[in-house]
Amino acid sequence: MLQQVDAAIVKFRLKRAEDYPSVSSTKSFFSMINSAFNGKRKMLRRSLQHICSSSEIENALRNIGLRPTV
């Protein structure tokens, strides 16, 4: 039996440098980015769970206009 799978395409647009939030540590920032995109897990929330709690991740996703299940 074939399973239906939802998929999404993400498009990134560059912003002006002053539009980005400041980060306290470049190393930590890139660690988070690597975690988000290198894992086999397909949900962003699950990929980032080792960095902070699920509720913090869900709130952050909502704050930028994304569903927590993305």
Residue 22 inside a domain? The answer is no
Residue 3 inside a domain? The answer is no
Give the pLDDT band of residue 65 (cuts 50, 70, 90).
confident
Residue 5 inside a domain? The answer is no
Q: Which residue in this structure is represented by tokens 């206009």?
A: 65
Give the pLDDT band of residue 41 (cuts 50, 70, 90).
low
Provide the number of structural domains found in the chain. 1
Domain limits at 60? 28-70
Asked if pLDDT for residue 39 goes beyond 80, the answer is no
* pTM, two decimal places: 0.49
Asked if pLDDT for residue 64 goes beyond 70, the answer is yes
| Distances in whole angstroms, Cα of residue 41 to Cα of each of 14, 25, 30, 62 | 26, 25, 18, 20
Determine the Cα–Cα distance for residues 20 and 44; give it in Å rounded to an integer: 20
The pLDDT tens digits for 4-15 are: 878 888 888 888
